[in-house]
């Protein structure tokens, strides 16, 4: 029995120290408004695990120490929206700060959401590099590159002004030409 326990302990120790292979290999292509598709109700199991993984990641990397004050747990102040996109095998999870169920101020951050790419096992692969509210540039495959701006030429010199004839002063236009003293 001692040998079995020792072997089991060794197996646990050895696997706990080994590096795990990442669950996702490849590049993440972030969705735009046309390619994002909301995951409907009821949620499939992978979508639920992806939402939980994204919420855990936001709580783990939260830089604001007092953000979840008034909440019984940090999860109470967060809402997750799960959708799919152009990268097969990933869920995109938008985690929104919504403190309506917590005591204190409802709005605590100006842009209160983050988007994560998450595997169906709940492993966060990447965080959206653009951040909240940033518009993703629309890429069209058939579009030609924008035309180059015209070459800047030296501006033409200003035209030389014509000599001005001095205008008569006084009442010359109204007088008959006779001078009286």
Inside any domain, residue 158:
no
Candidate ranges 113-117, 127-131, 155-159, 165-169; pick with highest mean pLDDT: 113-117
Inside any domain, residue 112:
yes
Is the model more confident about 96 or about 144? Answer: 96
Inside any domain, residue 138:
no
Task: Identify the pLDDT of residue 48.
Answer: 95
Inside any domain, residue 71:
yes
Spatial distance between the Cα atoms of 128 and 95, rounded to a whole number of angstroms = 12
Q: What is the bridge-based pairing of β-strands 124-127 and 78-84?
A: unpaired
Inside any domain, residue 115:
yes
Instruction: Kindly report, residue by residue over 31-77, the tens digit of the pLDDT.
Output: 888 888 889 888 899 999 999 999 999 999 988 778 888 888 888 88
Inside any domain, residue 43:
yes
Q: CA dist 111 to 21, 95, 133, 134, 153, Å?
A: 34, 11, 7, 10, 45
Task: Identify the pLDDT of residue 63.
Answer: 83
Other beta carbons less than 10 A from residue 50's beta carbon:
29
Q: What is the mean pLDDT of residues 152-162?
A: 68
Domain count, the chain: 1
Inside any domain, residue 121:
yes
Instruction: Quote the domain boundaries for residue 57.
Output: 29-127
Inside any domain, residue 4:
no
- Those residues whose C-beta lies under 8 Å from the C-beta of residue 18, and which sit 6 or more positions away, are none
Spatial distance between the Cα atoms of 80 and 91, rounded to a whole number of angstroms = 12
Instruction: Kindly report, residue by residue over 85-136, the tens digit of the pLDDT.
Output: 998 999 999 998 888 788 877 666 656 788 999 999 999 999 988 765 555 5
The token pair at 88 is 């097969």
The pTM for the full model equals 0.60
């Amino acid at each position: 029995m001692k040998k079995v326990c020792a072997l089991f302990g060794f197996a646990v120790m050895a696997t706990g120290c080994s590096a795990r292979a990442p669950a996702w290999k490849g590049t993440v292509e972030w969705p735009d408004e046309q390619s994002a598709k909301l995951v409907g109700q009821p949620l499939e199991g992978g979508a639920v695990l992806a939402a939980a993984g994204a919420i855990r990641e936001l709580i783990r990397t939260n830089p604001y120490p007092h953000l979840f004050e008034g909440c019984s747990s940090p999860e109470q102040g967060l809402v997750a929206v799960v959708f799919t996109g152009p990268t097969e095998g990933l869920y995109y999870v938008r985690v929104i700060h919504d403190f309506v169920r917590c005591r204190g101020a409802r709005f605590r951050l100006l842009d209160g959401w983050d988007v994560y790419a998450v595997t169906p096992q709940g492993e966060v692969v990447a965080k959206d590099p653009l951040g909240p509210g940033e518009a993703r540039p629309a890429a069209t495959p058939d579009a030609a590159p924008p035309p180059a701006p015209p070459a800047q030429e030296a501006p033409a010199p200003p035209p030389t002004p014509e000599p001005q004839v001095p205008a008569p002063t006084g009442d010359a236009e109204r007088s008959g030409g006779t001078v009286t003293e």
